Structure formats: C-alpha cells, structure tokens
Amino acid sequence: MALFAAAKLLGRTSLLAAGATASSLVAAEYAGSDAGVVRSFTFWRHVVPMYAHYKLVEWRVATESDPHAVAAAYRPLHERYSPRVRQLALHLQGFYFKLAQIMSTRDDFLPDEYLQWTKQLQDQCPNVMPSSEAKRIVERSLDVPFDTLFAHWDDQPIGAASVAQVHRARLRESGELVAVKVLFPGMESKFTNDIQTVEVFCKYLMPQNASYFAEIKRQFATEFDATREARNLQLVHHNICATPWGRLVQVPRPLLSSKHVLVMSYLEGPKLVDGVRQWFKRVADSRGMDFDQMEREQKRLLQSGQLRMKEVRQSANETARIQRMIRLRDMLVNALIFVGNYTVRPLLGGDKWKYCKSEMPLNLGHVMDVLLRVHAHEIFMDGAFNGDPHPGNILLMPDGRLGLVDYGQVKRMSLEDRIVYAKLIVALNRDDRDEVVRIMSDEIGFRTKYMKKDIIYRTAAFFNCRDSDDITLGMNVSAFMEWLQRSDPVVRINDEFVMVGRVSVLLRGMANAFGLKLRVSDYWKEEAEMLLKSQGIKY
C-alpha cells in the first residue's frame, strides 16, 4: 500500500510540476519574462522529487512509535538533500534565499543538517554587486553627483541581504557618518516570480502554509521601495527614540531616499548574530572545543533534559548578577593595582601595572526582554511594527543599547484591530480557552472547516503566545502545522493579524536559539491591558 501511495504521489507531483511549468510558460510569454520561466522550472525540477521522497518515508514511518527510529529513517534524506537545497538556494537566490534565512530563525523549523548552513545565511548574501555599480545606482537614483554628496565611501559593504546591500559613507556637507542601502537591480521581478511559484507549491503540496501566505506576500512587496522604508523609519524613529524607549534601543534616522536608495544615520556595533557567535566561540575556546562542537553538545543536553531552558527574565537576572560580580572583582583588583603602582612597583622598577577590564558575558536574557517589550509597545501603542525581527537586524551598540535596523517590512494595525489583538493576548495569558476561541471566531474571523474549538485554541496559542508541548503535543513545528491542517483545515484567516503572529513566532524562535523559553503573552500583556484601559474597555 505504501508503494502504491508513493506511486500515486509521484504521479501527482510530476503532473503538478509539469502543469506549473506550463502555466509559468504561458504567464511568462504574456509578461515577456523568460528568466522567470527558467527560475520556476529549476525550482520544480529539483524540489518535487525531494518532496516525493520525503513523503514516501513519512508514509513508511507513519505507524512507528519510536522517535529515534523515525529520526534514523529521515537522516539519510537530510544528508542527501541538504547540500542540494543549499546549492539551489545559493544558485537561485531571490525569495528562495530569503526563505532559507527565515527558516533558520527557529531551531525547530529544520533538521540539523539544514540548520548548519541556513544559520550562516542570516547575515550573509552571495549576491554582492561591485561598489562601482552601487555608486552608479546611488548617483542616478538620487540625481546628485556622487562626489558632491559623499566625502568618503567604503567600497566593502558592511552588510548584504536578499534584496539590498549597505555601504558605510560620510556626507560631505555635514560630515555625518551614514549607512547607504542600495537595492539590487532586477530583484523585485525575481521575488515576484519566486513568491508565485512557492504559493502554488504550498497550495497543492503544503496547504497548511497556504492560508498565511497572502499577507506575507503583500508585506514582501513593500521591501522594494526605499522611499516607503524611509517613511517607515521616520515613523518608528519618532515613536521610539523620542520616548523612554530611546534609552534602551536606537532606530536610524532617514536622511535621503529614492525608490532604490536609502541614506540613513549610521548605528555602530556588531549584529546580534555576530555578537552571539563571537561570545560562544570564546566560551568554546575556553573549554577546548570548537563552536560547532559546543553548539551540538548544547543541543544534545537540551534535548536529553540534562540541561533545562531558562525563562527569559530568569536568565537576564542571573547574567546581570554575574556581570555585577565581575565588575566588583575588577574594582577590587584595580584598587590593589592602583596602590601597588605607587608603593611596590617603584621599588621593583619597570612600567606601571595595567588595570584589568574583564570581558562581560553577553546578557541574552536582557536582549530578549528588551526586544519583546519594545515590540509590544510598537504593536499596541504605536500600531506600527517591524514584521521581520531576526538576529541580523539587531545591533549590539557600544553604549549598551540595541540598534534596530531594516524596516522594509513595517506593518500598520488600525486601532480597532489592536483592541481585538489586545483582548486575544490577555485571554491567552489567562489561559481562558473559551474566550480565545470566541475572539478568534467572532472578532478576528478565523474559520476552519469543522470549527473545532481545540484546533482553534491551539492555532491561536501557537502563533501568538507559546509553542510548548501542551500546545504542540510534542511535535516539531512542521509536523504540528500538518496535524492542524489534517485535523481541521483552515478555510479563512484575517490577513491583518498574520504579521503580528509572525513576529511572535520569530521572537520565540530567537529565544529558543539562545536556550531561552517564554510565553509571549507574559511580555505583551502589560501593553495590551494599557491599550484597553486607555480606550475605556474593561476586560
């Protein structure tokens, strides 16, 4: 039966691939885009056989109760296909590269074989254009002679993502250090074609993801207008930096913009993803291990239960206590050095003894606490938030603040939608299941085929609060999403609430990668209740 089912699947996917490719040909002939045809054909030709092979193994182990046996059955596929998927993502780039970056933000999205290379893409992009071309785009797009605008320009980009690269420069008139974001030529058409291809794939082969794709597709379309991003930056900079939040985070100021170029104030500091790697590499070196070895050991201990994940605030408080102890020790040692420099050292001769300044452990709990609370403020108080928070978009500034960059995907929520979402967060925090289901169905308009209350509640909790075993039944994210779809297929979702749920999922994924666990509603409840109270709503 399994072989028969697999044969049916192979037939279905082959027909789908052929049909999709034919459709792409027709669409491309109408639009005049041969490149789009080639990209779609390449995707289907490589992905469909892999998908069919994974489905065959899934059917084969469907009745297997031993998770180790299931993992062993999939491992040869991961080892075989992970290098091929990597090569495909690097070859096609575009939206496929962006998908690889997105999937790497949670350790439970992908098997280890895929995570090893997708994590490396969080702050990397092979699609770097020559500096001379970037300069030409800047000059042509801003309609200002390049040398008139800039006194200095770093040819080496300080960052590159799937749609743009960023150069550091200095303005000639003011002398201000700036970051210049230059969008890649032709990338918008690639993304549009790629998103359509992935949308078809999800519709027919991964329907559990199809319902949420429309809003995500719409938000990605905003990444190709730097003028719009400048407006987003101006709004968020005003909302955040002119408030007490400015003591904890910084957002760049937009200075000049066109459709393809954005000039903004420069924020100093390494990306969070680089800071974490550097810190843990030093820890690994001190233990006589390499970084990858220590990461694998950490994951093994967490999975075996020998090492427990800490709550975000617990981790923040413990690390802050360690930092205080290190500072106190340095003060005592430096006091002794000071005394020694003016008493013992002159008798011994030689140079003055140097004061010590110990390196502080990176307080990831504090980082997550700030990120969670500032996003709560953006969502509930401002109604405008970054829909793409990940470690590559966060800087560790020298003054201790977090730099929040890349506002290409800003989502605006109306007051009415914010009030509804605030109720949902409060109800989730109270674990009021009946009220959560009521809000989802009556106020948000979420619909499933059978309207099973348990499925609706688990969906709401997963996207907006937590992904603990009591919600996911111990399944990984992919398996859980498939189980939800099989149990009660989604018929309708409200696109206005997709991106805010995505932010919750991404922030939890970041915390998970740092070995931290959390319920987002614990951090968002306060701002949600403040919004309701400000509107005279007793809840």
Among 298, 327, 360, the domain-final residue is: 360
* Cβ atoms of 107 and 513 closer than 8 Å: yes
479-506 pLDDT tens trace:
898 899 889 999 999 999 999 999 999 9
Is 491 inside any structural domain?
yes
Residue type, 431: D
Same domain, 388 and 325: no
Pairing, β 410-412 against β 384-386 = antiparallel
Residue 332's pLDDT is 94
Same domain, 353 and 430: no
Is 39 inside any structural domain?
yes
Number of domains the chain contains: 3
Is 130 inside any structural domain?
no
Q: How much of the chain is helix, strand and coil, in % rounded to 5?
A: 65, 10, 25
The span from the CA of 273 to the CA of 119, in Å, is 9
Same domain, 355 and 424: no
- For residue 337, give its domain range: 309-360
Residue 124's pLDDT is 66
Residue 284's pLDDT is 77
* Cβ atoms of 229 and 256 closer than 8 Å: no
Same domain, 342 and 487: no
The span from the CA of 497 to the CA of 219, in Å, is 12
CA nearest to 149, candidates 176, 129, 128, 131: 176
Same domain, 421 and 487: yes
The span from the CA of 133 to the CA of 106, in Å, is 35
Tokens 């859980």 belong to residue: 480
Helix 364-376 vs helix 312-342: crossing angle, to nearest 10: 130
Residue 293's pLDDT is 74
Q: What is the DSSP string of 502-537?
A: HHHHHHHHHHHHTTEE--HHHHHHHHHHHHHHHTT-
CA nearest to 384, candidates 525, 233, 241, 225: 233
Residue 309's pLDDT is 73
What tokens were used for 483?
Answer: 């189980």
Please give the chain's pLDDT, 539 residues, in tens. Answer: 333 344 344 344 444 444 444 444 444 433 445 688 899 999 999 999 999 999 999 899 888 888 788 889 999 999 999 999 999 999 998 899 988 888 887 777 788 899 889 888 876 666 689 999 999 999 999 999 999 999 999 999 998 888 899 999 999 999 999 999 999 998 999 998 999 899 899 888 888 777 777 777 777 777 899 999 999 999 999 999 888 999 999 999 999 999 999 999 999 999 998 888 888 788 778 778 777 777 777 776 666 565 667 888 888 889 999 999 999 999 999 999 999 998 988 888 888 899 998 888 899 999 999 999 999 999 999 999 999 898 888 999 999 999 999 898 899 999 999 999 999 999 999 999 999 999 999 999 999 999 999 999 999 999 999 999 999 998 888 889 889 988 999 999 999 999 999 999 999 989 988 888 899 999 999 999 999 999 999 88
Is 395 inside any structural domain?
yes
Is 297 inside any structural domain?
no
Q: Residues near 133 by Cβ (< 8 Å), separated by ≥ 6?
A: none
**What are residue 250's DSSP bridge partners?**
403
Is 261 inside any structural domain?
no
The span from the CA of 521 to the CA of 270, in Å, is 29
Residue 3's pLDDT is 36
Same domain, 402 and 468: yes
Same domain, 390 and 529: yes
Among 321, 344, 360, the domain-final residue is: 360
Is 419 inside any structural domain?
yes
Is 32 inside any structural domain?
yes
Same domain, 372 and 424: yes
Same domain, 383 and 339: no
* Cβ atoms of 404 and 250 closer than 8 Å: yes
Residue type, 339: V
Q: Is 124 helix (H, G, I), strand (E, B) or coil?
A: coil
Give the pTM.
Answer: 0.84
Tokens 């800047």 belong to residue: 138
Q: What is the DSSP letter of 123?
A: T
Same domain, 20 and 114: yes
Same domain, 336 and 391: no
Same domain, 352 and 434: no
Among 121, 142, 169, the domain-final residue is: 121
Residue type, 124: Q
